[in-house]
């Protein structure tokens, strides 16, 4: 068994009487895409916020590799090797695609306290940023301000920025949302290629993409992980069928 | 529409032409006005770094302008009166050397900016505006009630401080010093804005969440920008005291904060030469309309409204092309 890249151990979070996250444990192993699914309100967002550092857990631990990051803030977790994309695209609107990616390269290299050298003339950094844009198919759009990119292009730009961080693990929050059939297909192919190098925790509503990509799936229901397994195991699991089709959840 | 570069060059040429005309026709008042514009523009360049590029709407930059001013005034008055600043544990005298006064003004302003920034930057939006204003007002009232240095009446410095090899009492020489300072801080800002720091600062202004996610701490970026911004405005304050040979609490008042903001907004937010254009327009209006009516600021207000509504980011935005993304 290889060491997991991301380990979540007994994570719990309550808001008053509401238990949004109940003893959640999961691991991301090298080379895998681990999908996290669950009906609306299952606690996916709460879990993601805790992993990224936006929300502090009540109990439990989070490890990136063998480094405990439970007490670190967002910035330090990013520096520890966690790259995320946002559910609603989050880029710097007035920056070009290239400048956005440069920002990520700069964050990784820790070069934000350079005051004199024009950063966009640093060929080494620009090359790295362009390489990331090329991988997501945005090479030809490098000089376009992010605000003028299409929705799908902005999603890809977020992936490029995550790539530029050269992280240990990706945390992708609904990357397919609003992508359109063509875009989803291209992104699916890209993620399948990426996972060999960097494993992915994928939160996604697009079940076609999840079933195509995921090596393992965890199903979250009312803050609990009700099962973790391969695509076939999860599809056949009666609890999952109940959670998705039964009673009170859409 | 013209390129911003040529517009900037024209503004600088115009400023120099005024000084030249003043020298040729022996009208020292023109030179004084041009020097005033230059110094106020420099204060604006400082604020522009925080407000324009960092989106930190500081309504308290008078604090740094005044602190730099008092630093200069206190050092010079002690030297001129032959009173040491401190006698224990070692004797420290005042000085009239600009080369000493400037670093002192810059460092003292930077220290205050670090303290004020460390508190204020925990807030944002309207709270940030209010807390920076509150800090500046605290310092203002402190100065008023500090009798050793003139209190409400301020402090006169009867000789301009010295610069090696120049007669600073000569208007044109003093203008030259201020002009070199302005060009230096504009050049420095331009380098900073295009460097890694500037990229992070401008990104923080637009989307701090994204900046955090790539492993850059927005607070550290903002605080650094705020400190540099305060230091630049502080040195401008020191020069302003030398221009007037007088420092008073009014340099610290919220009117001054507002005026520095007006220079930036009138000229162009996040434009390198915006503060110069803004300060020049302000002084020209003050001189021309001020001669006709006491209420010239009514017209300043009207012009400000027009510029804000129709100029994309100030007067430069009205005339120049869109900022390049290079």
Instruction: At A115, list the tokens.
Output: 């005051």
DSSP string, B104-145: HHHHHHHHHHHHHHHHHTTS-HHHHHHHHHHHHHHHHHHHHT
Q: Which residues of B touch A172 (CB under 8 A)?
A: none
How far apart are alpha carbons B284 and A47 in whole angstroms?
Answer: 59
Chosen from B53, B201, B213 to mutate, greatest number of chain A CBs within 10 A = B213
Is the backbone peptide bond immediately before A210 cis, with ω within 30 degrees of 0? no
How far apart are alpha carbons A120 and A131 in whole angstroms?
Answer: 15
Average pLDDT of the residues in A91-114: 94
Element (H, E) at A221: strand A216-221
- Residue A105's contacts (CB-CB under 8 Å, 6 or more residues apart) are A125, A128, A129, A132, A164
pLDDT the model gives residue B200: 97
- Per the CB < 8 A criterion, the answer to whether B41 and B182 are in contact is yes
Q: Percentage of residues in chain A with pLDDT exceeding 90?
A: 70
| Bridge partner residues of A227 (DSSP) | A219
What chain B residue is nearest to A75 in terms of C-alpha separation?
B215
Backbone φ and ψ for A145, nearest 5 degrees, come out as -60, 140
Is A1's pLDDT higher than 80? no
Tens-digit pLDDT profile for residues A142-180: 999 999 999 889 999 999 999 999 999 999 999 888 888
- Total residues belonging to chain A: 250
pLDDT the model gives residue A96: 96
Alpha-carbon separation of residue B195 from B122, B174, B189, B255 (angstroms): 25, 32, 10, 33
Exposure string for A29-45, b = 16+ CB within 10 A, e = fewer = beebbbbbbbbeebbbb
Alpha-carbon separation of residue A240 from A22, B292, B294 (angstroms): 17, 81, 78
Is A247's pLDDT higher than 60? no
What is the dihedral sign for C-alpha B271, B275, B276, B280? Answer: positive
> In chain B, what are the domain boundaries?
42-266
**A–B CB contacts, 8 A cutoff, strictly below:** 101
- Burial class of B45 by CB neighbour count within 10 A (0 to 12, 13 to 18, 19+): buried
Taking an 8 Å cut-off on Cβ atoms, the answer to whether A92 and B206 are in contact is: yes
Q: Which residues of B touch A74 (CB under 8 A)?
A: 212-213
What is the dihedral sign for C-alpha A52, A56, A60, A64? Answer: positive
- Per the CB < 8 A criterion, the answer to whether A91 and A144 are in contact is no
- Residue B158's contacts (CB-CB under 8 Å, 6 or more residues apart) are B80, B245
pLDDT the model gives residue B324: 46
Name the residue facing B210 among A79, A91, A102 (closest C-beta).
A91
Taking an 8 Å cut-off on Cβ atoms, the answer to whether A165 and B215 are in contact is: yes
Name the residue facing B215 among A75, A113, A116 (closest C-beta).
A75
CA B195 to chain centre: 22
What chain B residue is nearest to A115 in terms of C-alpha separation?
B192
In which residue are the tokens 């006709």 written? B292
Q: Which fold would CATH assign to domain A1-81+167-250? A: Rossmann fold (3.40.50)
Tens-digit pLDDT profile for residues A25-80: 999 999 999 999 988 888 888 999 999 999 999 999 999 999 999 999 999 999 99
pLDDT the model gives residue B2: 65
What chain B residue is nearest to A86 in terms of C-alpha separation?
B210
Mean pLDDT of the residues in chain A: 90
How far apart are alpha carbons A243 and B14 in whole angstroms?
Answer: 74
How far apart are alpha carbons A244 and B274 in whole angstroms?
Answer: 59
Taking an 8 Å cut-off on Cβ atoms, the answer to whether B214 and A117 are in contact is: no
pLDDT the model gives residue A250: 42
Chain A window 111-170: which residues touch B at a Cβ cutoff of 8 Å? Answer: 111-120, 143, 145, 161, 164-165
Tell me what ipTM this predicted complex has.
0.90
Radius of gyration of chain B (CA): 19
What three-state secondary structure class fits A238?
helix
Helical pair B28-48 and B171-194, crossing angle rounded to 10 deg: 20
Q: Which residues of A touch B221 (CB under 8 A)?
A: 112
pLDDT the model gives residue B325: 41
- Residue A227's contacts (CB-CB under 8 Å, 6 or more residues apart) are A218, A219, A233, A234, A237, A239, A240
What chain A residue is nearest to B209 in terms of C-alpha separation?
A90
- Per the CB < 8 A criterion, the answer to whether B185 and B233 are in contact is no
How far apart are alpha carbons B273 and A37 in whole angstroms?
Answer: 53
Inform me whether the C-beta atom of residue B324 falls under 8 Å from chain A C-beta atoms: no
- Total residues belonging to chain B: 326
Tens-digit pLDDT string for chain B (326 aa): 568 888 899 999 999 999 999 999 999 999 999 999 999 999 999 999 999 999 999 999 999 999 999 999 999 999 998 888 887 788 888 899 999 999 999 999 999 999 999 999 999 999 999 999 999 999 999 999 998 898 899 999 989 999 999 999 999 999 999 999 999 999 999 999 999 999 999 999 999 999 999 999 999 999 999 999 999 999 999 999 999 999 999 999 999 999 999 999 999 898 999 999 999 999 999 999 888 888 888 989 998 898 888 877 788 888 876 554 43
> In chain A, what are the domain boundaries?
1-81+167-250, 91-166
Distance from CA of B72 to the nearest CA of A (A): 27
How far apart are alpha carbons A246 and A226 in whole angstroms?
Answer: 15
């Amino acid at each position: 068994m290889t060491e997991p890249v991301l380990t979540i151990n007994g994570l719990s979070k309550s808001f008053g009487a509401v238990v949004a996250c109940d003893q959640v444990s999961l691991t991301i192993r090298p080379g895998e895409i681990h999908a996290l699914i669950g009906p609306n309100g299952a606690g996916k967002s709460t879990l993601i916020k805790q992993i990224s550092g936006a929300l502090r857990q009540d109990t439990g631990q989070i490890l990136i590799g063998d480094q405990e990051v439970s007490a670190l803030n967002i910035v330090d977790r990013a520096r520890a090797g966690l790259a995320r994309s946002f559910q609603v695209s989050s880029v710097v609107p007035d920056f070009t695609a290239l400048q956005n990616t440069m920002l990520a390269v700069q964050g990784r290299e820790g070069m934000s306290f350079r005051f004199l050298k024009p950063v966009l003339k640093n060929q080494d950094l620009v090359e790295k940023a362009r390489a990331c844009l090329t991988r997501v198919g945005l090479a030809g759009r490098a000089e376009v301000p992010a605000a003028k990119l299409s929705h799908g292009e902005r999603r890809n730009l977020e992936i490029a920025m995550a790539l530029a961080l050269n992280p240990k693990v990706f945390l992708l929050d609904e990357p397919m949302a609003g992508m359109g059939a063509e875009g989803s297909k291209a992104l699916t192919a890209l993620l399948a290629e990426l996972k060999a190098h960097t494993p992915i925790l994928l939160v996604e509503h697009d079940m076609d993409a999840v079933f195509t990509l995921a090596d393992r799936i965890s199903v979250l229901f009312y803050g609990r992980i009700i099962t973790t397994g391969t695509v076939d195991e999860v599809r056949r699991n009666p609890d999952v069928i109940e959670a998705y089709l039964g009673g009170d959840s859409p | 529409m013209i390129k911003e570069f040529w517009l900037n060059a024209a503004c600088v040429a115009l400023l120099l032409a005024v000084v030249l005309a003043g020298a040729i026709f022996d009208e020292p008042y023109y030179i004084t006005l041009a020097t005033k514009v230059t110094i106020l523009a420099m204060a604006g360049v400082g604020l522009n770094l925080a407000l324009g590029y960092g989106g930190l709407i500081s309504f308290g930059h008078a604090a740094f302008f005044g602190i730099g001013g008092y630093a200069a005034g206190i050092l010079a008055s002690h030297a001129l009166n032959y009173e040491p600043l401190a006698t224990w544990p070692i004797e420290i005298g005042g000085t009239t050397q600009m080369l000493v006064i400037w670093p002192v003004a810059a460092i003292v302003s930077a220290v205050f900016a670090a303290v004020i920034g460390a508190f204020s930057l925990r807030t944002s939006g309207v709270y940030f505006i209010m807390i920076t204003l509150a800090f500046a007002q605290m310092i203002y009232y402190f100065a008023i009630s500090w009798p050793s240095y003139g209190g409400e009446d301020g402090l006169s410095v009867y000789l301009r401080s010295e610069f090696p090899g120049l007669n600073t009492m000569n208007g044109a020489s003093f203008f030259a010093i201020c002009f070199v300072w302005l060009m230096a801080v504009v050049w420095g800002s331009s380098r900073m804005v295009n460097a890694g720091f500037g990229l992070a600062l401008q990104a923080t202004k637009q989307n701090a969440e994204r900046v955090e996610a790539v492993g850059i701490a927005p607070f550290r970026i903002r605080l650094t920008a705020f400190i540099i911004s305060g230091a630049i405005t502080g040195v401008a304050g020191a020069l302003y005291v030398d221009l007037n040979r007088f420092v008073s609490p009014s340099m610290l008042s919220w009117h001054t904060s507002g005026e520095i903001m007006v220079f930036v907004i009138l000229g162009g937010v996040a434009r390198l030469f915006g503060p110069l254009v803004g300060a020049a327009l302000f002084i020209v209006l003050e001189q021309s309309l001020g001669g006709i009516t006491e209420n010239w600021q009514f017209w300043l207000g009207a012009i400000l409204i027009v510029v804000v509504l129709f100029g994309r980011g100030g007067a430069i935005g009205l005339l120049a092309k869109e900022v390049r993304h290079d």
